[in-house]
Every structure is written in C-alpha cells, then in structure tokens.
Amino acid sequence: MWLSLKILFCITFVLWWVFYHYEHKAQPEVFGNCWQALAWTVTRYLDNLDGVVDKYPVTIIGKIVAVMLSIVAIGIVAIPAGLIGSGLTEAINEEKKENHLKELLNRLKKSFRRKQCRYTKYRTVPQLVSIVDIQAKQCIDTNDIIEAVKESKDFRLRNLATAQPLGSVVNDRLVVEHFPINTPYGCKVDRGSNVTIVSTSSVSEAGIGNFSWYLALYGGFNYVSKEVEVNPDEPFSYYNIADENGDPNIASFLGDIKAMQRSGKNWVVMLLSASGAEEPTYPSQLHWIHGAKRGDSGFADPNITVRDTVAYDNLYKACETMAQEKFGYKSDRQEYHSGSGKMNIGRHVDGGKGEVNAFTLRMAFEVTVWDDRRIAIAKEMALLMSRHLAGKELEESNDWKVKGIGYEM
C-alpha cells in the first residue's frame, strides 16, 4: 500500500510540475502560482471539489496532462471500487451457495427418517434411498442431490449394479446412502461389550454398514466401521491391511478395536458382503471364516483366529439352523473363502488384554441389501451372538422404536 502511495505521489508531482510549467505561461491569470496548479491537479482525483476543475487547460501539453490525470484517477478510485464491488458480490454469492447447500442437506436428511420395520416393529434408518425417490418426495434436482452428497460428510452415492452377482442381468440404479461418522476413518461406538462388530468395507460395499450397525445395536456390541476412503481413486478394504496402501487411518482403526477389548474372552466379528459384481453366486448365502484355508472347515490348523472353538461352533450351528428355518438361507464354513492370509485383519486385532477370538461372516447382497427382512435377520443374529459369545440373553430396548432422522451415537 505504501509503495502504491509513493508511486502516486511521484506521478502527481511530475504531472503537476509539467502542467504548471505550460499552463502558467499560457494563462497566468488562471494559474498564477504553483499552488493553484497543484490544487487543480489534486482536485482531478477528488471529483471537482469547490469548482476548481471549471478552469481548463488550453495548451496541448496541459490537455495531455489532464487526460493522464483522469486515467490515474480511474486507477485509484474506479478500479478499487470495482474490485470491492466484485468481491462483495462474490461473497454474497458464496453465502447464498452455502445457505442453499445447507437447505439441500437438511432436505436430503429428511429422506432418511427412521421407518418402522414390519417384521420387528423397530424403527431403522433407510439403508439406501434412490435418487428418484428423493426427487419425488423432496423436489430436489438431480444435480443438486449430487452436489449436496459431494459436499456432505455423511452421505455417499451408490450404484446398486455392484450389488448384483456376476452373470446376472445388471441394471444401473443410483442411490444415496447415509452413514454414521465420528472418527477420521468412519465410526466407533464403545458399549462396554466383549463383542465388537467390525465392518471393514462399509465405504465400498452397499448396505453392509447399515446391517452391521443394527446387528451391533441390537446385541449391545461395540461397533467399528470404515466409512471414509482416503484415496477414492484407489479404494480398498481394511479386511486386509497391507502397509503399502499408505492409509494413515489404519492405525487408529486397529487401535480402537484393541482399546474396546476387556480382560477375559473377547470376540471380534468382521462383516463383509459376498456375491457382488465381481463374484458368482454360491449355493450358500452366509459364509463363515475362522482363518483356515479354503475348504478346511475344522479347527486343527494352528493358524486359525478362533481360540474358543466350542463357543464358535455352537454359534455357527445355531445361526445355521436359524437362517435356514426362518429365512431360507444356507450357511457354509470355510467352503468358498479363505482367511489364512497374513495381512487378514483378524490376525492383527489382539490388544493383549485377554483371549481374542476373531472370525468373519460374509453375507450375500441377497441377504443384506435385497431382502426386506434384513433387519429381522440382524436381530436374530444379535440374539444368538449375545447368547453364545456374550453369555447373556438379548434385552429389547424401547429406544429401538423411537422416531427420528439418521443415526444416533
């Protein structure tokens, strides 16, 4: 600023001296002394105060100086005023955009008002809501929906074509998914349980986060979920935690799982999806994995991640019977998937506080997304896990029937 003022002073001084030199000779009665010329020069910047600029130059040089002073005046008055006006307009537009975005997000959240499940009578957050439904109910343009999702922290877009198995007739269907978030990697809830439900792929697999959330809620279990992708161009699951992925959130993800463990017996249950866009369908829909090689359903392998094989086996048999008799789904153990890899997360969750048992339950999208009984399935699984892993019977809570919008943590 001071440099600009110095330059302005120098320019004014030179133009004043030139103007006085020529105009004093041409019309001494008008510009009789240097102060009259200086007053005239400065007044060109100040919009003709006191009528001084009614006196006009008569020489060519004087007129040129007058033009130059007018140009300088534009530079020091008009341009800054224009910039200020432009900046003010930009600020107003930005504020309007922010207010519009807030309004869009509020309307978008209303599409995730908890609805009553007809099988359990519990109220749950809609798992996935189609863009067409949001348009119809909230009267929001598609571009506005996408912009709101892009700018939000707890919404994302999904294409349900990824939830259809390999070889099926794939139909693109764009939906919005709402998810809970309270950590840099996603979500954690410590309920003081010896059972922790871990969703390693909520960010990349449609619906699994919602299913896992309610399984943990109904069972009173701890909950940890990956909801944030550090590099959207190269997404990966925390199910395998290779260091080369370079995700700074892996350490806190694992740290939170370990911190929730108690002395005594702990269970870490990883939930994933199966039979999606890059997988075929299998004869069974619920795949149980305890760290052995594919095809090895026994417990002789010393590298398995389950220590209390009796409790695990009893849970498996109880869930197998429940899924078959109540919902028509079949189960398998280690038949189609392997959990023997060294970087499998189940091998890295021991917090050193007690015995840690880790196993994976992969469920077909048919169960977690397309079946409208999925909340009832989650409740039944929670009941059996509570009985066999936590050693207590499930207690229903009135909070599960409360109206509201979104997740409560």
Confidence of residue 296 (pLDDT cuts 50, 70, 90): very high
Residue 48 pLDDT exceeds 60 = no
Burial of 23 (0-12, 13-18, 19+ CB in 10 A): buried
Confidence of residue 9 (pLDDT cuts 50, 70, 90): low
Residue 47 pLDDT exceeds 60 = no
- Alpha carbons 11 and 45: distance in angstroms, whole number: 13
The pLDDT value recorded for residue 207 is 94
Residue 126 pLDDT exceeds 60 = yes
What pTM does this model have?
0.78
- Alpha carbons 292 and 337: distance in angstroms, whole number: 9
Q: Are 45 and 77 within 8 A, CB to CB?
A: yes
Confidence of residue 86 (pLDDT cuts 50, 70, 90): low
Q: Are 211 and 217 within 8 A, CB to CB?
A: no
The pLDDT value recorded for residue 171 is 77
Q: Which of 24-28, 122-126, 214-218, 333-337 has the lowest mean pLDDT?
A: 24-28
Residue 111 pLDDT exceeds 70 = yes
Q: Beta strand 354-364 with 286-289: parallel, antiparallel or unpaired?
A: antiparallel
The residue with greater pLDDT, 100 or 250, is 250
The pLDDT value recorded for residue 214 is 98
Q: Are 155 and 407 within 8 A, CB to CB?
A: no
pLDDT digits (tens, 9 = 90+) for 333-370: 999 988 878 888 999 999 888 899 999 999 999 999 99
Q: Which of 135-139, 315-319, 382-386 has the lowest mean pLDDT?
A: 135-139
Which domains does the chain show, CATH number per domain?
1-87 (1.10.287.70), 182-398 (3.40.630.100)
Average pLDDT taken over every residue of the chain: 86
| % of the chain beyond a pLDDT of 90 | 55
The pLDDT value recorded for residue 49 is 47
The pLDDT value recorded for residue 40 is 67
- Alpha carbons 259 and 362: distance in angstroms, whole number: 24
The pLDDT value recorded for residue 234 is 73
Residue 302 pLDDT exceeds 80 = yes
Tracing tokens 């999208």 back to the chain, one arrives at 365
- The residue type of 304 is I
Confidence of residue 316 (pLDDT cuts 50, 70, 90): very high
Terminus-to-terminus CA distance in the chain, angstroms? 52
Confidence of residue 76 (pLDDT cuts 50, 70, 90): low
Residue 36 pLDDT exceeds 80 = no
The residue with greater pLDDT, 401 or 92, is 401
The pLDDT value recorded for residue 263 is 83
Q: Render 359-396 in DSSP notation, one character per residue.
A: EEEEEEHHHHTS-TTHHHHHHHHHHHHIIIIISS----
